[in-house]
């Protein structure tokens, strides 16, 4: 199969979206914020509360009221590439624009340019609308003429101030600023007011009909207007034959230019070439790349949608202001990511059975399974369902975009993975990097794959005074996440330093006392992953008495000694002698780190410290005393009878001690009935 460049992929994705009716389709936006794949040569403006106003006209074209576009809602409007790339130059959008362009009293030069642009544009649009044999097209044509009459005959700033005064109580008016009362003062509430600079407002328009059979006109939602504008721009381009060339991405001969739209305002991924980028290789900047205007629009608009749609984008900075990396994810046959795949929860785990104290950011929100495709994908991940034949030809795409300066953004990296390989890698991650943890609700043990951000926190973080585990430096989190990602989506080995660091944290038990259960879970999952990466057998949560190494046995001893002390103190509690055991640091905890360094020497120290607790059990619970004493004797004998005992006597413990401690601890806290049930299973 011929490998396509990422630009070719994006271009084809937009065309597929057009074929499937996904472009300019507001019905697909579940958020209600007008986030859509924009039609060609259109832009959207996001409201921040009171900076976008829609002026409503009546049937006669008179302005009758205003709507403040709600915070977070997007307004869609027609543009030209030249108007979109204006910086200090005066270049108006053809219809909707900032007040500076629409008001003759604020900036005469900008207003004059708007009127010239609008006249030329309107004449072309009216011709396009004549091709639509519908009453709605006629209504749109009349509406556009009425907007022009309003702009030419009245000062829009004056009109706006009057409409604001009609709808709100104006507390402080001046030439360009108004302070309006949003909520009057009552006995229980304060007056709520807002100061608005009308000269900075973005203006759009709408029309309301008294006839209920007619559909009100809104520039954001009117598809006939959008289609007419796109046709007008393309016909304008067709007249400029000297600008036609072969597009390097689409392979078609089309109108080409060196001016491209930006993302995040005017930030470019394809920028106008400066001399230093081509001198010595090309005679002219136009030789660097030939990108058709329509091709460029399709590429940029699909990226723009992915960046705005919360199901397609994830911020990887995790509060790191220095790292502005955004991950874009999509599938060739699922552009909207209805599968709800996320990098922060790639294996779609159930709601966490524990409550790790951490910052809940956008990455850590629970995955929505409202869509049937998401539910199916979860079953496929678990092996409960197979991919359909059509889905087997799908591809997963990942693009990392860095928003690194005021004027530039960069595509850092891209990944294209056939979905069968992608699914295999995810299932491999889920299978090899998992461990059990006790569900606080059901009180049962469940096997879970840790989420990437939790892994990063427990590998590189520290336990803070409030109990949260987090990294001291945010940039460490974001860079570590990017290094962890290939292990998840590409099936490569876990970075070795992560395994070393989680083991180091595990040995520092006192430093993670409030999160010890979760640190054990993370350590077992990651260290088991490393074992399997190295071709070793996966360690089990239950005791593996036929696969016990020296280090595994020492881990078992730690668990037994700790249980002896806990049982003895519990006996003391029942007699009312001590009520603070939950806050006590056990002797095992005190020697934990040193034990891992010199286990044989510290074993004697630990045994001496535990001796009084054994004696207490001997007096109060002789059965338990005998059981523990026998276990200790058996394990110590097994350690010292090994041929390598003397050679390894002074060696520090390796990761096997982690599994020995966990398995023995699990066994000690499991009832006889549960053990029998597990054996039968």
* pLDDT tens-digit readout, 113-156: 999 999 999 999 999 999 999 999 999 999 999 999 999 999 99
DSSP annotation string for 24-61: T-GGG-TTSS---BPPTTEEEEE--SSSEEEEEE-TTS
Q: What is the DSSP letter of 393?
A: G
Looking at the chain, the whole-number percentage of residues with pLDDT higher than 70 is 89
Which pLDDT band holds residue 576 (cuts at 50, 70, 90)?
low
Residue 144's contacts (CB-CB under 8 Å, 6 or more residues apart) are 95, 122, 125, 126, 225
Average pLDDT of the residues in 226-245: 96
Tell me the CA distances in angstroms from 247 to 4, 242, 299, 586, one per residue in order.
15, 14, 13, 72
Alpha-carbon distance 580 to 466, whole Å? Answer: 20
Strand segments (E) across 287-438: 313-315, 325-331, 395-402, 410-418, 435-438
Q: What is the pLDDT of residue 582?
A: 56
User: Is the model's pLDDT at 12 over the cut of 60?
Assistant: yes
Torsion of CA 321, 526, 533, 395, to 10 degrees: -50
Length of the chain: 681
- Cβ–Cβ < 8 Å for 299, 348: no
Alpha-carbon distance 463 to 283, whole Å? Answer: 59
Please state the pTM of the whole predicted model: 0.88
Q: What is the DSSP letter of 212?
A: T
Instruction: Give the 3-state secondary structure of residue 327.
Output: strand
For the chain, give the mean pLDDT: 89
The Cα angle at residue 327 between residues 40 and 523, in degrees rounded to 5 = 165
Question: Residue 57: beta bridge partners?
Answer: 63, 207
Tell me the CA distances in angstroms from 269 to 11, 259, 303, 328, 466, one per residue in order.
15, 12, 10, 14, 42
User: Is the model's pLDDT at 244 over the cut of 70?
Assistant: yes
Taking the mean position of all CA atoms in its chain, how far away is CA 454? 14
The two tokens of residue 397 are: 């795409």
Torsions phi, psi for 428 (to 5 deg): -65, -45
Dump pLDDT digits (tens) for 81-92.
999 888 778 999
Tally of CA atoms within 13 A in the half-sphere of 416 that contains its CB: 13
Nearest residue to 500 (alpha-carbon basis) of 372, 366, 621, 655: 655
DSSP annotation string for 492-505: PPPPHHHHHHHHHH
Q: What is the pLDDT of residue 183?
A: 85
Strand segments (E) across 84-225: 97-98, 169-173, 177-183, 192-197, 202-207, 217-218
User: Is the model's pLDDT at 278 over the cut of 70?
Assistant: no
Average pLDDT of the residues in 377-403: 93
72 vs 279: which has the higher pLDDT:
72
Q: What is the pLDDT of residue 486?
A: 97
């Amino acid at each position: 199969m011929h490998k396509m460049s990422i630009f070719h992929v994006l271009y084809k994705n937009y065309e597929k979206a057009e074929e499937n009716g996904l472009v300019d389709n507001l019905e697909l936006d579940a958020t209600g914020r007008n986030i859509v794949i924009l039609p060609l040569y259109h832009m959207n403006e996001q409201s921040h509360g009171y900076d976008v106003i829609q002026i409503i006209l009546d049937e006669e074209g008179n302005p009758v009221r205003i709507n403040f576009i709600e915070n977070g809602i997007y307004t869609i409007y027609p543009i030209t590439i030249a108007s979109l790339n204006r910086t200090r130059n005066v270049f108006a959008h053809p219809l909707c624009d900032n007040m500076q362009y629409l008001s003759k009293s604020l900036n005469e030069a900008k207003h004059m340019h708007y009127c010239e642009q609008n006249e030329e544009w309107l004449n072309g649009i009216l011709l396009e609308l004549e091709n639509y044999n519908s009453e709605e097209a006629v209504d749109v044509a009349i509406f556009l003429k009425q907007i022009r009459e309003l702009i030419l005959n009245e000062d829009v700033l004056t009109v706006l101030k009057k409409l604001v005064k009609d709808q709100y109580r104006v507390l402080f008016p001046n030439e360009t600023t108004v302070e309006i009362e949003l909520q009057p003062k009552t006995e229980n509430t304060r007056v709520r007011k807002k100061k608005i600079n009308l000269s900075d407002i973005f203006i759009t328009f709408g029309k309301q009909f008294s006839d209920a059979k007619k559909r009100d006109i809104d520039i954001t939602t009117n598809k006939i207007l959008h289609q007419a504008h796109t046709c007008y721009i393309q016909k304008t381009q067709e007249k400029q034959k000297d600008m036609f060339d072969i597009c390097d991405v689409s392979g078609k001969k089309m109108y080409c230019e060196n001016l491209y739209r930006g993302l995040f305002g005017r930030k470019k991924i394809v920028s106008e070439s400066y001399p230093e980028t081509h001198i010595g290789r090309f005679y002219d900047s136009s030789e660097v790349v030939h990108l058709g205007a329509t091709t460029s629009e399709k590429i940029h608009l699909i990226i723009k949608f992915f960046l705005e749609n919360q199901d397609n984008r994830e911020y990887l900075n995790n509060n790191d202001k220095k790292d502005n990396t955004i991950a874009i994810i999509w599938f060739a046959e699922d552009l909207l990511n209805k599968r709800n795949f996320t990098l922060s929860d790639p294996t779609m785990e159930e709601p966490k059975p524990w409550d790790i104290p951490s910052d809940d950011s956008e990455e850590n929100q629970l995955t929505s399974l409202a869509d049937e495709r998401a539910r199916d994908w979860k079953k496929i991940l678990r092996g409960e369902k197979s991919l359909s034949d059509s889905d087997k030809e799908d591809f997963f795409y990942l693009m990392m975009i860095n928003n690194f300066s005021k004027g530039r953004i960069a595509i850092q990296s891209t990944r294209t993975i056939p979905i069968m390989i992608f699914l295999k890698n995810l299932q491999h991650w889920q299978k090899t990097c998992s461990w059990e943890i006790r569900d606080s609700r059901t009180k049962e043990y469940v096997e879970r794959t840790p989420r990437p951000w939790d892994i990063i926190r427990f590998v590189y973080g520290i336990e803070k005074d409030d109990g949260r585990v987090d990294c001291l430096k945010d940039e460490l989190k974001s860079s570590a996440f990017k290094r962890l990602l290939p292990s998840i989506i590409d099936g490569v080995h876990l970075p070795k330093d992560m395994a070393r660091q989680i083991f180091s944290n595990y040995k520092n038990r006192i430093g993670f006392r409030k999160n010890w259960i979760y640190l054990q879970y993370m350590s077992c999952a990651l260290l088991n992953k490393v074992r399997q990466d190295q071709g070793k057998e996966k360690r089990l949560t239950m005791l593996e008495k036929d696969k016990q190494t020296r280090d595994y046995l020492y881990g078992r001893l730690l668990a037994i000694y700790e249980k002896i002390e806990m049982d003895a103190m519990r006996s003391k509690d029942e007699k009312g002698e001590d009520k603070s055991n939950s806050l006590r640091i056990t002797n095992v905890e005190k020697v934990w780190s040193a034990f891992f360094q010199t286990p044989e020497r510290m074993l004697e120290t630990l045994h001496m410290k535990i001796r009084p607790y054994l004696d207490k059990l001997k007096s109060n619970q002789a059965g338990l005393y005998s059981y523990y004493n026998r276990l200790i004797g058996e394990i110590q004998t097994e350690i010292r009878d090994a041929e390598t005992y003397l050679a390894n006597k002074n060696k520090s413990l390796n990761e096997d001690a982690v599994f020995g401690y966990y398995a023995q601890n699990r066994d000690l806290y499991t009832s006889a009935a549960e053990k029998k049930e597990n054996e039968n299973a």
